Amino acid sequence: MAKEKLGVLCSGRGTDLQSIIDAIAGGKLDAEIAVVLTDKPDVMALERAAKAGIRNVCVNRKEYGDRQPFEEALVKELQAAGVTLVILAGFMRILSPYFVHLYSGRIMNIHPALLPSFGGAHAHRDALAYGVKVSGCTVHFVDEGMDSGPIILQAAVPVYDDDTEESLGARVLEQEHVIYPKAIQLYVEGRLKVEGRKVIILNEERM
């Protein structure tokens, strides 16, 4: 059977991308990364893709005035690469309804908090300021809202009194690198069934 073709969108360092590259190389994820796209030049994600021999393109947001032509350029690259599942991995832009409809049910995102708490761009700062004792990360399908789509997998980590954004971020990131490849593999296996807000995991392993 043809492999799921992933298009991974990143804005920066690309450690989530790396976890997907490594899971594929290690036989834990049965998919292929067809293209890595970034919205900024000179980011580590492009280097990581190049090192792994993956097609990588910067669609520089600064070269586009409105969001629509920028997203059309992204779509052109995704279509040219035959992408069937879009993976947002530290992609720090909100996608418009145009893009979300085009890939409806076929866009995943990872967010560094236990949604619906602490959505947005400063999850760790917000979690620390609130004083929560547990935080974590969430893989979800993308809908038209921000960090609001149906939740696929979550992982929790403790928050300590002396945590900084950096220390909490690092603890959460370790879990991101575990659950993102896992969530994608569940999709690849056809085991994710969306019923309204809920994602049912077929034949789920229980602890």
- Bond before 116 cis per omega within 30 degrees: yes
- Is residue 14 at the binding interface for ligand GAR, with CB under 6 A as the rule? yes
Q: Which of 110, 114, 127, 186 binds ligand GAR (CB under 6 A)?
A: 110
**Which uninterrupted H or E stretch holds 84?**
none
12 in contact with ligand GAR (CB under 6 A): yes
The verdict on 124 binding ligand GAR (CB under 6 A) reads: no
Starting from the edge strand earliest in sequence, which strands make up the sheet with 85-88, in order?
A: 56-58, 31-38, 4-10, 85-88, 107-111, 134-141, 151-158, 198-201, 192-195
Q: Is 136 in the site for ligand GAR (CB under 6 A)?
A: no
Q: Residue 26 in 3-state DSSP?
A: coil
Compute how many other C-beta atoms are within 10 angstroms of the C-beta atom of residue 129. Answer: 10
Q: Does 139 bind ligand GAR (CB under 6 A)?
A: no
16 near ligand GAR, rule: CB under 6 A:
yes
Is the CB of residue 196 less than 8 Å from the CB of residue 163?
no
Which of 89, 114, 179, 192 contacts ligand GAR by CB under 6 A? Answer: 89
111 is catalytic: yes
Of 6-14, 96-104, 153-161, 188-196: span binding ligand GAR (CB under 6 A): 6-14
Q: 96: how many CB neighbours lie within 10 A of its CB?
A: 15
Q: Is 39 in the site for ligand GAR (CB under 6 A)?
A: no
| Catalytic residue set | 111
Residues contributing to the site for ligand GAR (CB under 6 A): 10, 12-17, 89-90, 110-112, 173, 176
